[in-house]
Amino acid sequence: MSPAASPPYNFNIDDYLNRFIPRNRLSVLPTPISWFLGYRSKPQKPIGSLLVIWWSFLGAFVGLLVVHGFYMIPALSEDGESVVIASLGAAAILHFNTISSPLSQPRNAILGELISTTIGISITKLFLLAPGEYMHNLRFIAGALAVGLSSAAMGITGTIHPPAGATALLAATEPKIVKLGWKFLGYIVLGSTALVVVGLVVNNLQRQWPIYWWTAADLGEKQGDIEGVDGDEEEEEKMGDGRVVIDKKGIELPIGLELRYEERAVLEGIRQRLKEGGIWQGSRSRESGRADSEVTRVPDSDGSSPEITGGRGDR
């Protein structure tokens, strides 16, 4: 079977950075500390939707109170008034409602805001070089350019965080924010960090957050194992039937399938939970004769039942 042609333009910064990132060592910390940093020796049990709503409310409420408490410090207030950054409200929704999403993990939450704010302020400073009346008329162009460049930069760096787009827009179009200049970067770093700290406390009381700090990939293994493709014909034949297989060795994808950053992170998160839960204790044959109880079949929209296989490769 000949593999399908790969997309001509494909880039994942983690393929280059992860080789320099140390493996997660939270497991060696005392349990109370590692617990509130998101580490679990066993998979976290799910809680009911009403509890999720309660913790989401409490987290967003307390998180924004803490943020604006910092902003009310006289040294950080502007003209006696505390600064209000609306994009942090959107960030709070991500931090406490969609805690398993790659978009809400600390890497995205802090670096995405940092990158977007830097771009927004830089674009604004550039447009401010024009005469005042021109800057007023072209402000919407500065905002659009800041958001566009921020979107591209977050995509390249794997730090996509939607509220950061609003932050970049504020940096270019909101007069009070424009007046802050580079001080706005300090406000964003402080606010984003405060939300992360509150998230570590509130989200870990009954849930688990973050799912990962830098990446969902197992940094103790070669990055090539993430894709699960070893290049020989037997492996290609095995992967050519449209299945996604998760096992100890990696994630096996159908030939020609390219994952986006978010999709890859979700699959690696599932694999990590299977690994921590001891799912791969013992061994199991991965041949086609496996028991039905080891396979989850999800009905498709056309009534068929595509197979999602959670493999337990031999240790």
pLDDT tens column, 71-81: 998 888 776 67
The rounded distance, in Å, linking the Cα atoms of 40 and 199 is 16
pTM metric for this prediction = 0.71
Least confident residue range of 28-32, 54-58, 133-137, 139-143: 133-137
What is the model's pLDDT at position 264? 78
Average pLDDT, rounded, for the chain: 81
Confidence category of residue 298, pLDDT binned at 50, 70, 90: very low
Reported as a single tens digit per residue, the pLDDT across 184-224 is 999 999 999 999 999 999 999 999 999 999 998 877 654 44
Pairing of strands 295-297, 307-309: antiparallel
CB 202 within 8 A of CB 62: yes
Q: Which residue from 263, 135, 265, 110 is spatially nearest to 196, judged by alpha carbons? A: 110
Q: Rounded mean pLDDT of 277-283?
A: 61
Least confident residue range of 17-26, 35-44, 67-76, 257-266: 257-266
Secondary structure of residue 126 in the 3-state scheme: helix
Q: Report whether pLDDT(26) > 80.
A: yes
Least confident residue range of 124-133, 142-151, 248-257: 248-257
pLDDT higher at 234 or 197: 197
Least confident residue range of 147-161, 190-204, 295-309: 295-309
Q: Report whether pLDDT(62) > 90.
A: yes
Amino acid present at 257: L
Q: Rounded mean pLDDT of 117-146?
A: 87
Q: Which residue from 209, 110, 208 is spatially nearest to 159, judged by alpha carbons? A: 110
- The burial class, CB within 10 Å (0-12 / 13-18 / 19+), for 162 is middle
Length of the chain: 315
Helices 87-97 and 183-206 cross at an angle (nearest 10°) of: 20
Confidence category of residue 308, pLDDT binned at 50, 70, 90: very low
Secondary structure of residue 307 in the 3-state scheme: strand
